[in-house]
Amino acid sequence: MGFLSTGSVRLEEHLWFRCITPVVVLGLLTNATWSFCHQLCYNAIYRKFGQRSVAIGLMVGEVVLVLILIGIWFQMVLIGPGKQPKLLPFKIMPEDESDTDSEAKESSQGTQMSTNPPRIYQCDPQGYPIWCTACQSIKANRTHHSSTLGYCIPRFDHYCVWIGTVVGRKNYRLFVQFAFYFWAFAIFVIVSTASFLPKIIRSQPHVPRVNPNILIMMGLCGMATLMVGPLFLAHTYYMMVNRTSLEIIATKRRSRATNTWLCYYNAVDGIRYVFEFKALEAQDFWNKRNIWTNLKEFLGDNYLMWFIPFGTNIKYSHPHSSDVAEVLGPYQEKCGERLRDELQHRIEAGNYVAAFKAFGDRSMGEN
């Protein structure tokens, strides 16, 4: 992606720009906390109405929610979206071109220069894997290079302007939890303020007026509810059908060529087939047709941790291996039965754009 970063430097690549919106959001959150705790809870509920325990309870609730939000935020930035481990080039040169001295060279140097191709991988129309020049690595399925962070991100979702970081495989659960708790926070503030508004208005003997800070806070939380609520619901749906924001966006870019290709090893005849897909078909690649299986692929197997906003469900240990599945570990995308059936049907119907034998598949036949 060298040409992209040198030709046109995108705004989010500047650190100052990445910080603007997060600072504004943090400022508004602080302001809302002050309005809620000081103006509403202390001045009105505690001092004027004398409902001390209610005031303290509401204050504690608000502060706890804000602390949870800031805690998730820090974790999202610190843990990051995840970094795709480096993948060596795949051995795909046809058998007759396979020179035995390249193998000899590898063994004599003691370092491996290439690896056997996985059963299924994203590729170009000729069947070659997608290469990232910046990272000097093959891009695994669903990986996308982030020019903001400067590395390849597994299951890249989107760059979040509000939070100021990229959302990917590793911090996705935190992102969904952030949206959920933000929504809960906004609703908590609106409901508790609204329930005291009539009393505040009635307590003014002559002109009914409400502290403008409280009104501004209500307005901001109303906006937050309208923005973050649908966002949370949309991402819940994306997880249920196993899609990323990037895959959704690709279907909406009608002006650009958004076709994708998959290279698949057919165990029956030992041949690799290359299939072409339109963006609308490609967004269903990873859908396992079972809502719970899909949700677990994003949120992890531990149901309790779906709700506890702490840490990540990706535990990556650097294996001493050149096997693609082992190198990728938890970042590997699982090919579901639905996709496998679809590809088998396409082979039977002759609906593929290329077919070839890969050098690295020679050992595949036995297992």
Taking CB under 5 A as the binding criterion, the range among 73-81, 135-143, 192-200, 233-241 that sits at the site for Zn ion is 135-143
Please state the length of the chain: 367
212-240 and 291-299 helices cross at what angle (nearest 10)?
A: 120
Q: Which two tokens stand for residue 232?
A: 């949370």
242 Cβ contact partners less than 8 Å away, ≥ 6 residues apart:
286, 287, 288, 294, 297, 298
Q: In the complex with Zn ion, which residue's Cβ is closer, 144 or 288?
A: 144
CB of 143 to Zn ion, least distance (A): 8
Site for Zn ion contains 161 (CB under 5 A): no
CB of 131 to Zn ion, least distance (A): 9
Q: What is the dihedral of CA 221, 311, 155, 26, to 10 degrees?
A: 30
Taking CB under 5 A as the binding criterion, the range among 125-133, 193-201, 301-309, 320-328 that sits at the site for Zn ion is 125-133
Site for Zn ion contains 135 (CB under 5 A): yes
Number of residues that bind Zn ion (CB under 5 A): 5
Site for Zn ion contains 140 (CB under 5 A): no
Q: In the complex with Zn ion, which residue's Cβ is closer, 139 or 243?
A: 139
Separation CA 264–CA 344 (nearest Å): 10
CB of 283 to Zn ion, least distance (A): 22
Out of 40, 65, 92, 152, the only residue in the binding site for Zn ion (CB under 5 A) is 152
Separation CA 360–CA 94 (nearest Å): 9
Phi and psi at residue 100, to the nearest 5°:
-70, -20
Site for Zn ion contains 134 (CB under 5 A): yes
Quick note: the x/- pattern for Zn ion over 202-241, rule CB under 5 A, is ----------------------------------------
Q: Which two tokens stand for residue 349?
A: 């119907």
Q: Which amino acid is at 153?
A: I
Out of 40, 44, 72, 132, the only residue in the binding site for Zn ion (CB under 5 A) is 132
Q: Are 314 and 170 in contact (CB under 8 A)?
A: yes
Q: In the complex with Zn ion, which residue's Cβ is closer, 72 or 138?
A: 138
Which residues in 174-213 are b (16+ Cβ under 10 Å) and which e?
A: bbbbbbbbbbbbbebbbebbeebeeebeeeeeeeeebeeb
CB of 151 to Zn ion, least distance (A): 6
CB of 247 to Zn ion, least distance (A): 18
Q: In the complex with Zn ion, which residue's Cβ is closer, 32 or 132?
A: 132
Taking CB under 5 A as the binding criterion, the range among 124-132, 159-167, 255-263, 269-277 that sits at the site for Zn ion is 124-132
Pairing of strands 260-266, 120-123: antiparallel
CB of 7 to Zn ion, least distance (A): 17
Taking CB under 5 A as the binding criterion, the range among 139-147, 172-180, 193-201, 203-211 that sits at the site for Zn ion is 139-147
Cα distances (Å, whole numbers) of residue 139 to 21, 155, 306: 30, 11, 28
208 Cβ contact partners less than 8 Å away, ≥ 6 residues apart:
201, 202
Known active-site residue 160: yes
Q: In the complex with Zn ion, which residue's Cβ is closer, 132 or 167?
A: 132
Q: In the complex with Zn ion, which residue's Cβ is closer, 130 or 174?
A: 130
The single-letter DSSP state of residue 128 is P
Q: Which of 160, 221, 263, 335 is catalytic?
A: 160
Out of 83, 142, 145, 169, the only residue in the binding site for Zn ion (CB under 5 A) is 145
Burial of 16 (0-12, 13-18, 19+ CB in 10 A): exposed
CB of 145 to Zn ion, least distance (A): 3
The radius of gyration of the chain's CA atoms, rounded to the nearest angstrom, is: 26
Q: In the complex with Zn ion, which residue's Cβ is closer, 87 or 279?
A: 87
CB of 144 to Zn ion, least distance (A): 8
Taking CB under 5 A as the binding criterion, the range among 140-148, 286-294, 304-312, 316-324 that sits at the site for Zn ion is 140-148
Q: Which two tokens stand for residue 76?
A: 């999202």
Which residues are the active-site residues? 160
**Which residues are at the interface with Zn ion (CB under 5 A)?**
132, 134-135, 145, 152
